[in-house]
Every structure is written in structure tokens, then in C-alpha cells.
Amino acid sequence: MARPVRFNINTKSTADWGINQASMPEGHMGEGFFATSFDKVVGLARKNSIWPLPFATSCCGIEFMATMASTYDLGRFGAERLGFTPRQCDLLMVMGTIAKKMGPVVRQVYLQMAEPRWVIAVGACASSGGIFDSYSVLQGIDQVVPVDVYVPGCPPRPEAIIDGVLRIQDLIHNEPLRRRNGPQYKALMDSYGIE
Ligand code: SF4
């Protein structure tokens, strides 16, 4: 016999659980309508549906695992869908020591991601090489790809990683739709040799 299916067994609303819903963008509201600009709607959708690609090479990656787990639960911020296929992801999170031999790999992963894409350098190693001021370690991933947000710490606590994601969400929410067609963005890409 088929088991009975019960829908909405939890009668509490999300507000009762203390879960915040995405706030409305600026706009004009009237009876039966809400009007806002197109870029605000796109920004709202993008910032609440980030697909991160975790590129974890060492200890900071372990801290990221804690960030994804139930206590911190990065999924609360619309970022629970981790992907390991660059073409599906829009947020590259580099966590750990990046050897110079690994630099081209980070760059290749970045190039395989479709625009719009963003990058977070998580921890001292990804941001600056950290304590490894040596011949073999890349002194910051911004030598090979443009970085949007740097998260300090060795390792950063999960709260700091979440703060980095919130900073990225701010950037995404407020990014003009035409930014990536503009001369400044083109100059940034040119400086990295990216067409
Ligand atoms: S910043 Fe510290 S914790 Fe993170 S990868 Fe480097 S050495 Fe490890």
C-alpha cells in the first residue's frame, strides 16, 4: 500500500522560524503592482542564487567544510548548491595554499566559468601566500585571476567566510548590468591577458 503523502506538515511560516526572506528591491508599490528597474531585479536574483565552486587545496578548505555544515549552513544565504563544473558556477572560492604550478590551473578554471563570475580569496595563503614566502608558492591568486573579495585569517573562521560571501552578495546586488561591457572591466581583463 502506498504511503500517504503529507504536504505542509509544518504549519509555521518561515518568519516564525526567524528565517529572513529576500528583501524587496527599491521601487514603487501601489495597489496590485510593484515597479522597479530591471537591474535591481537581476541583482536580487543573482545574489540569492550563487553557485560557488570551492577550489580547496589545504587547511582553509577544511574550514569551508565547517561553513557548509549544519552549524553555520551557508545554504541560508542562497549558496548551498556547490558545483565542481566551472561552466555551471559563478563564484570561484579559492581556499588554501596555491603553488606556482597550480596557478595556471586556477586560471583555467576561472576562464571556463561563464560571465558574470566572481572570485573570493579565502585565507592568507590564497590572498597573499600567507606564511609561505617561498620560491614555490604563488604570493596571492590575484597574480593570475582578478579577485573581488579577500577574506583574512589563517584560517578564517566560518563567520569570516560567511562575511566574505555577504560582501560578494553586496557587490552582485549593486553591480550595474552594463559593468562587464564597460571600458574599466575590459581594462581589468586586459591586465590579466583575458579577452
Ligand atoms: S591561510 Fe593558514 S589555514 Fe589557510 S591554507 Fe594557508 S596556512 Fe592553511
Non-local (6+) Cβ contacts of 55 within 8 A are 92, 93, 94, 95, 96, 106, 109
Q: What is the CA radius of gyration of the chain?
A: 19
Residue 195 has a pLDDT of 81
User: What CA–CA distance (Å, rounded) separates 14 from 131?
Assistant: 44
* Beta carbon of 124 within 6 Å of any ligand 1 atom: yes
* CB contact at 8 A, 96 and 126: yes
User: From the CB of 59, is ligand 1 less than 6 Å away?
Assistant: yes
| Residue 66 confidence (pLDDT) | 93
Distance CA 36, CA 24 (A): 9
Fold held by 40-161+169-191: Rossmann fold (3.40.50)
Task: Specify the residue with its C-alpha closest to ligand 1, atom 2.
Answer: 154
Q: Which pLDDT value is given to residue 32?
A: 87
| Closest atom of ligand 1 relative to the 123 alpha carbon | 1
State residue 13's pLDDT score: 60
Instruction: Kindly provide the b/e burial profile for residues 142-153, where b requires at least 16 CB atoms within 10 angstroms of the residue's own CB.
Output: bebbbbbbbbeb
Atom of ligand 1 nearest to the CA of 154: 2
d(CA 150, CA 53): 16
**Spatial distance between the Cα atoms of 43 and 133, rounded to a whole number of angstroms:** 39
Q: Does residue 58's CB lie within 6 angstroms of at least one atom of ligand 1?
A: yes
DSSP string, 65-134: HHHHSTTT-GGGGT-----S-GGG-SEEEEES--BTTTHHHHHHHHHHSPSS-EEEEEHHHHHH-TT--S
Question: What pLDDT shows up at residue 113?
Answer: 95
As a whole number of angstroms, the distance between CA 93 and CA 138 comes to: 16
How is the beta sheet containing 52-56 ordered, strand by strand?
52-56, 91-95, 118-122, 149-151
Residues contacting 40, CB < 8 A, separation 6+: 25, 26, 27
Mean pLDDT split into 10-residue runs, the chain, 195 residues:
58 61 80 88 91 95 93 87 92 97 96 95 96 96 96 95 95 90 93 90
| pLDDT (0 to 100) of residue 3 | 62
92 CA from centroid of ligand 1 (Å): 17
